[in-house]
Structure 1
Amino acid sequence: MANPLMFDSVWRDKQKFEEAEAQYQQVLAGTAAKGAPGAKDKKSGKSGGSTIKNEIAEARQQIQKVLNSHKGNYIQIIGGSGGASSDNSQVMKRVASLEKENRDLKKVVEDMKTLVQKLENRVSKLEGGTSAPSAQAPAPPKPAPAEDDDDDDDIDLFGSDEDDEEVDRIRKERLAAYEAKKAKKPALIAKSSLILDVKPWDDETDMKKMEEEVRKITADGLLWGAAKLVPVGYGIKKLQINCVIEDDKISTDFLEDEITALEDYVQSMDIAAFNKI
């Protein structure tokens, strides 16, 4: 740190003041040369060194002022450093508190890991996982013996001819019962649900009459459903009607031929939706 006194003007005239101090000491000792600034004037009887003495005193006063002013600055700096040390102590306390919290959190995490590992091991044992070596896989259930097997066990296939005849009779009875049961079981009928768009010639077509004519189309495997009028544009509406057909008996070509045959009412027919049932 630079000395604050080096910026004061008194140090720029250091040599001058040192020479003045030396002459002043010579005057006090009576060894000053004649004609020197510090010698006495015979006429006036006054000492020429009084001026130098005053300048030295003034210089000393200025030095003392500078020292006093900088002393106050040193006190402020020291006081400021004391505040910084107080802040540092608070920071250190905060750091110590954070380190303690960090250690506590690490401990909690380790405890949680241990607990989770224990729970996983317990669940694995309960579910019969690989982590439980003592657990054994359950044996697969034995298939239930069929009724035919029970009946066959009661029959001695290596018995007499009478036993052979009994076996044949039982087999024939069972085959007959199976065929009868199979004949009584209803066959699966494939059906489809259709939505038909039937378009008239113009807006003057009687849509109610056209629907009646369409519903007059009947056939085995054809069932008509709900119907509604859907606007097409320019005041024209189309008939949208639902029907269910049996795939083996009714085809879409049959429906188109029958409906378009109503030339007085129907211009065309389209299939809007086709879904298997």
Structure 2
Amino acid sequence: MASPLMLDSVWRDKQKFEEAEAYYQQVLAGTASKGAAGAKDKKSGKSGGSSIKNEIAEARQQIQKVLNSGGSVGASGDNSQVMKRVASREKENRDLKKVVEDMKALVQKLENRVTKLEGGSSAPSAQAPAPSKPAPAEDDDDDDDDIDLFGSDEDDGEADRLRKERLAAYEAKKAKKPALIAKSSLLLDVKPWDDETDMKKLEEEVRKITADGLLWGASKLVPVGYGIKKLQINCVIEDDKISTDFLEEEITGIEDYVQSMDIAAFNKI
């Protein structure tokens, strides 16, 4: 911070400081003369004060001119930059338009090629002529002309005869076709009375059961427990001829060997 004495000296030497400032501004503006500093020191009185004021005024005018000229130069510089930017944007716009036009032309070429590959054209002139439909109508008219209106009863009789022949042929073909026979596959569990039962004899007795629509298959002995084994035997039956009740009655009827019978599996064929 400046001391009061320094501020006082500045105030007393105010004229010198103002002259120095004026000279500095003239130097900056390029209007200061070589012997200006010495002349200013020799001058005194009213004439010296008025000349300093004039010089300060001239310096201020020069500064104002420089500022004005600098502002105009800056403005012209800004304008030139703006014009350069506008020109570059216009060039980019032209380039983009050219790219868009090229893309449109390429798309049009592709559409034409696809149209040719599909065998047609999007242009109305290139479309294939539509097939004429009046020809069948003319044929129908010719057929109508050939119809004998007075022979309609004979035609009806011929149609009935053909219908009956076709029905008869269908019935004959249906009769020759073999009827589908419903069959089932059964897996039977035949249990003996105890472990002393002769399982081989038991199986022989079971296989002795014969009937139309019954066919015995493979068999095996399956352990049950405590040394007892059950007979597991497969058979195929015709559903219309053999029932499960019939099998159960026949097998459990072998009372010397069979204690019970169960159906382990039942499948339609």
Provide, for residues 62-84 of structure 1, a one-character-per-residue CA deviation record: whole Å limited to 9, x for no partner. 99999999xxxxxxxxx999999
Distance across 2 between alignment mates of 1:267 and 1:5: 142
Distance across 1 between alignment mates of 2:80 and 2:51: 57
**Does the Cα contact within 8 Å between 2:120 and 2:128 map onto a contact in 1?**
no
Provide, for residues 171-212 of structure 1, a one-character-per-residue CA deviation record: whole Å limited to 9, x for no partner. 111110010011112222221111000001111111111111
**Does the Cα contact within 8 Å between 2:26 and 2:59 map onto a contact in 1?**
no
Provide, for residues 138-176 of structure 1, a one-character-per-residue CA deviation record: whole Å limited to 9, x for no partner. 999999999999999999898343333322221111110
**Does the Cα contact within 8 Å between 1:128 and 1:137 map onto a contact in 2?**
no
Provide, for residues 1-34 of structure 1, a one-character-per-residue CA deviation record: whole Å limited to 9, x for no partner. 9999999999999999999999999999999999
Determine the structure 2 residue equivalent to 1:95: 86
TM-score by length of 1: 0.44
Range with greater deviation from structure 2 (182-191 or 132-141): 132-141
RMSD, matched Cα = 13.8
Structure 2 counterpart SS, 1:158:
helix
Distance across 2 between alignment mates of 1:209 and 1:263: 12
Provide, for residues 247-273 of structure 1, a one-character-per-residue CA deviation record: whole Å limited to 9, x for no partner. 111111110000000001100000001
Range with greater deviation from structure 2 (44-53 or 114-123): 44-53
Q: Which has the higher contact order (CA 8 A, sep 6+)?
A: 2
Distance across 2 between alignment mates of 1:55 and 1:99: 52
Provide, for residues 118-145 of structure 1, a one-character-per-residue CA deviation record: whole Å limited to 9, x for no partner. 9999999999999999999999999999
Distance across 1 between alignment mates of 2:155 and 2:35: 175
Assess, with a 3 A threshold, how the Cα gap between structure 1 residues 266 and 159 changes in structure 2: closer, same or farther. same
Assess, with a 3 A threshold, how the Cα gap between structure 1 residues 103 and 142 changes in structure 2: closer, same or farther. closer
Describe how 1:108-127 pairs up with structure 2 within 5 A.
Answer: none
Range with greater deviation from structure 2 (171-180 or 21-30): 21-30
Distance across 1 between alignment mates of 2:258 and 2:77: 102
**Does the Cα contact within 8 Å between 1:256 and 1:269 map onto a contact in 2?**
yes
Assess, with a 3 A threshold, how the Cα gap between structure 1 residues 163 and 4 changes in structure 2: closer, same or farther. farther
Q: Pick from 214, 218, 221 the counterpart of residue 213 of structure 2.
A: 221
Assess, with a 3 A threshold, how the Cα gap between structure 1 residues 232 and 80 changes in structure 2: closer, same or farther. farther
The structure richer in helix per residue is 2
**Does the Cα contact within 8 Å between 1:197 and 1:238 map onto a contact in 2?**
yes
Query: How many angstroms does 1:55 deviate by?
Result: 66
Distance across 1 between alignment mates of 2:30 and 2:152: 174
Structure 1 counterpart SS, 2:180:
coil
**Does the Cα contact within 8 Å between 1:196 and 1:273 map onto a contact in 2?**
yes
Provide, for residues 203-255 of structure 1, a one-character-per-residue CA deviation record: whole Å limited to 9, x for no partner. 11111111111111111111111000001111111000001111111111110
**Does the Cα contact within 8 Å between 1:155 and 1:167 map onto a contact in 2?**
no
Distance across 2 between alignment mates of 1:111 and 1:89: 33
Distance across 2 between alignment mates of 1:31 and 1:154: 126
The unaligned stretches of length 5 or more in structure 1 are 70-78
The unaligned stretches of length 5 or more in structure 2 are none
Structure 1 counterpart SS, 2:235:
strand
Assess, with a 3 A threshold, how the Cα gap between structure 1 residues 157 and 120 changes in structure 2: closer, same or farther. same
Q: Give the percent of matched residue pairs that are identical in Structure 1 and Structure 2.
A: 92
Distance across 2 between alignment mates of 1:43 and 1:89: 49
Assess, with a 3 A threshold, how the Cα gap between structure 1 residues 183 and 100 changes in structure 2: closer, same or farther. farther
Runs of at least 4 residues off by over 4 Å: 1-69, 79-158
Distance across 2 between alignment mates of 1:206 and 1:173: 66
Assess, with a 3 A threshold, how the Cα gap between structure 1 residues 30 and 126 changes in structure 2: closer, same or farther. closer
**Does the Cα contact within 8 Å between 1:128 and 1:136 map onto a contact in 2?**
no
Range with greater deviation from structure 2 (152-161 or 187-196): 152-161
Distance across 2 between alignment mates of 1:143 and 1:35: 119
Kindly tell me the number of residue pairs found equivalent between the two proteins: 268
